[in-house]
Structure 1
Amino acid sequence: MKMARTIGTVTLSRAHPGLQGAQLRCVEVIESIDQLDTQPLGGEMIVAWDLCGSGTNDLVALAEGPEAAQPFRPDVKPLDASIVALLDEVDLG
């Protein structure tokens, strides 16, 4: 699981039937804790299925790979990334 920040929304005119009703967000992965308060990050942008109702600039937990589609089993969803949690606070002390 990775930490990321939402930076936008994706709108689809046509999609796989498994994505009907999906909320898709653009997120930037936070590579280092030093980047936590940096905006914009300027890093890799990923499109992720939003399971949590995130908004722009929210800090989120991101699941990637096969784990991103796990909550939908036995249904098959063509996902590679899912927002699985909204992060209110990060405390490393």
Structure 2
Amino acid sequence: MKLARTIGTVTLSRSHPAMKAARLRCVEIVDSVQRIETQPLGGDTVVAWDLCGCGDGDLVALAEGPEAAQPFRPDVKPLDASIVAILDEVDL
């Protein structure tokens, strides 16, 4: 699981049928906890399925790889990243 910040929405003109009614968000990976409040974060940018209804600028938890599709089992979804939580606060 990684921390990321939403920076935009992805719009598709055509998509796989399994992605019907999907909301895809563009997120930037938080590469260092010291830079969590910096804008822009400077991390990698990823397109992720939004399970939480987050908005632009929200700090989120991001699941990647096979774990990203686990909430949809037994359905098969062609995705590699999903937003699984909106984070209100991070204390270290």
Query: Fold-level match, TM-score > 0.5?
Result: yes
In the alignment of these two chains, the number of paired residues is 92
Shift of 1:13: 0.6
Q: Which stretch shifts more, 18-27 or 39-48? A: 39-48
Alpha-carbon distance, 1:41 to partner: 1.3
Structure 2: gaps spanning 5 or more residues: none
Residues 19-58 of structure 1 mapped to structure 2, 5 A cutoff? 19-58=19-58
Match of 1:73 in 2: 73
2:90 paired residue number: 90
- Detail structure 1 runs of 4+ shifted over 6 Å in the superposition: none
Instruction: Indicate the SS of the match to 2:8.
Output: strand
Unmatched tracts of structure 1, length 5 or more = none
RMSD: 0.5
Pair 1:12-2:9 in alignment: no
Identity of matched residues, % = 76
- For the residue of structure 2 that corresponds to 1:46, the secondary structure is strand
The one-letter code of the counterpart of 1:57 is: G
The Cα shift of 1:42 comes to 2.4
So what's the TM-score if we normalise by structure 2? Answer: 0.98
Counterpart of 1:69, as a letter, is A
Q: If the length of structure 1 is used for normalisation, what is the TM-score?
A: 0.97
